[in-house]
């Protein structure tokens, strides 16, 4: 992770959430499931749904502007050295460098900008990259991460093989990190990958293998596809929760906090049984995390949304140890330990 002596902290963050919701009952009607199944099996009560102008980059811009405002004058657009896109791969346009659009919209004209893609772990990958950039380049002092997610468009509600994706929601989130910022210091990070799952969930149409054509537009190929449903079900039930618990443990180890239980776990959206498995493995009480059952799954933005909820509830205080933990298709896992 570069020079461990380089201290990096989170100055502020911003979140954009659409005002409209889709309830479990509405999702049930579209999917053919019972509303009780949506709540009990998937853990979802309601989730945000996009408005007419809620696109990934536009939502990320709103979150970035809020993060600047929430810095309370500590960071101006001219202070930003690097802008990183930390949202999903599915953006406003194909082959768009979203970070540059964000850079212009927030007037960070002096910054360098580029996109990173890590599916559900992109925010945490961005935190690690920001820390490494600061460790390796003394001219980089302030980094803005901003990303939006609207993968809700890519989920076929009627496909039983991708029902685990029904909680997919929509949002924008941003984080500002700064060198030598003593508060909210990043203490340690970890990452894990299961490469054998690389092609077990993807959207078939739109890439170079199956380019857009009159025969595949507006077909099932425009939505997420799982080629081996039984393998995926087994993986999500047994492997994924334990890998998430493992990466959290590794991050705590790397932070010099082996065996310590965090004061709060800002974790990605999980189905109830998955969440129970992770918390049990780590011996963490359920009140030290948030199920996001009334918000849905926001990919890389889950950790920021969960963090915000804990701060507003007063769970996180000065000196609290917080773990941000995420997972995404690929399958990939990441965790970061922060001391507030």
Helix (H) / strand (E) containing 230: helix 229-234
CB 337 within 8 A of CB 252: yes
Residue with tokens 């194909």: 94
Please tell me the predicted confidence (pLDDT) of residue 55.
98
pLDDT per residue over 251-278, tens digit each? 999 999 998 999 999 999 999 999 999 9
Q: How confident is the model at residue 6 (pLDDT cuts 50, 70, 90)?
A: confident
State mean pLDDT over 123-133.
97
* Helices vs. strands in the chain: H and E counts, helices first: 9, 11
Task: Average the pLDDT over 125-140 and give the result.
Answer: 97
* pLDDT higher than threshold 60 for residue 2: no
Q: Which pLDDT does position 156 carry in this prediction?
A: 98
Each residue's pLDDT tens digit, 50-60: 999 999 999 99
Residue 174 has pLDDT above 90, yes or no: yes
Does 130 have pLDDT greater than 90? Answer: yes
Over residues 148-166, the pLDDT tens digits come to: 999 999 999 999 999 999 9
**What pLDDT does 280 receive?**
97
pTM, two decimals, is: 0.96
What is the residue-averaged pLDDT of the chain? 96
Give me the residue label for tokens 């970061």.
336
Q: What is the mean pLDDT of residues 273-288?
A: 97
Same fold, 8-181 and 187-339: yes
Q: Note the pLDDT tens digit of each residue in 290-324.
A: 999 999 999 999 999 999 999 999 999 999 999 99
Confidence band for 250, pLDDT divided at 50, 70 and 90: very high
CATH class of 8-181: alpha beta
Domain 187-339, CATH number (from 3.40.47.10, 3.40.190.10, 1.10.4080.10, 3.40.50.300): 3.40.47.10
Residue 63 three-state SS: helix
DSSP states along 48-100: E---TT--HHHHHHHHHHHHHHHTTTS--GGG--EEEE-S-S--SSTT--HHH
Domain boundaries, the chain: 8-181, 187-339
Question: For 193-215, what is the mean pLDDT?
Answer: 97
Is a pLDDT exceeding 50 seen at residue 208?
yes
| 4 pLDDT more than 70 | no
Question: Mean per-residue pLDDT for 93-101?
Answer: 97
Where is 283: in which H helix or E strand? none
Exposure string (b/e) for 118-132, b if CB count within 10 Å is 16 or more? bbbbbbbbbbbbbbb
Is 60 exceeded by the pLDDT of residue 11?
yes
pLDDT of residue 1: 38
Question: Is the pLDDT confidence value at 333 over 50?
Answer: yes
Give the distance, in angstroms, between the CA of residue 198 and the centroid of all CA atoms in the same chain: 18
Q: How far apart are CA 290 and CA 304, in angstroms?
A: 12
- Residue 243: phi, psi to the nearest 5? -70, -35
Under the banding of pLDDT at 50, 70 and 90, the label for residue 3 is: very low
22-45 per-position pLDDT tens digit:
999 999 999 999 999 999 999 999
């Amino acid at each position: 992770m570069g020079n461990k002596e380089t201290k990096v902290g989170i100055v502020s963050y911003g979140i954009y959430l659409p005002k409209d919701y889709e309830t479990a009952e509405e999702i049930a009607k579209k999917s053919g499931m019972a509303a009780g199944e949506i709540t009990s099996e998937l853990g979802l009560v309601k989730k945000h749904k996009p408005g007419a102008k809620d696109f990934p980059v536009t939502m990320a811009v709103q979150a970035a502007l809020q993060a600047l405002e929430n810095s309370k004058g500590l960071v101006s657009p001219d202070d930003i050295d690097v802008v990183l896109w930390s949202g999903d791969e599915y953006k406003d346009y194909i082959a768009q460098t979203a970070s540059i659009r964000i850079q212009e919209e927030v007037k960070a004209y002096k910054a360098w900008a580029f996109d990173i893609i890590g599916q559900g772990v992109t925010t945490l990958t961005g935190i690690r990259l920001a820390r490494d950039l600061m460790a390796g380049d003394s001219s980089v002092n302030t980094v803005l991460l901003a990303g939006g997610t609207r993968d809700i468009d890519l989920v076929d509600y009627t496909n039983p093989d991708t029902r685990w994706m029904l909680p997919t929601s929509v949002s924008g989130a941003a984080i500002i990190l700064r060198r030598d910022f003593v508060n909210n210091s990043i203490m340690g990070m970890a990452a894990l990958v299961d490469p054998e799952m690389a092609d077990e969930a993807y959207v078939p149409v739109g890439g170079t293998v199956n380019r857009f054509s009159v025969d595949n537009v507006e077909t099932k190929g425009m939505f997420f596809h799982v080629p081996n449903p039984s393998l995926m079900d087994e993986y999500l039930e047994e492997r994924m929760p334990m890998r998430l618990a493992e990466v959290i443990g590794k991050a705590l180890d790397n932070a010099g906090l082996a065996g310590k239980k965090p004061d709060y776990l800002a974790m990605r959206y999980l189905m109830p049984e998955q969440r129970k498995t992770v918390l049990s493995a780590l011996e963490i009480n359920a009140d030290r995390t948030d199920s996001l059952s009334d918000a849905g799954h926001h990919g890389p933005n889950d950790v920021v949304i969960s963090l915000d909820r804990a701060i507003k509830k007063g769970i996180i205080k000065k000196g609290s140890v917080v773990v941000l933990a995420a997972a995404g298709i690929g399958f990939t896992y990441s965790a970061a330990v922060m001391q507030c």
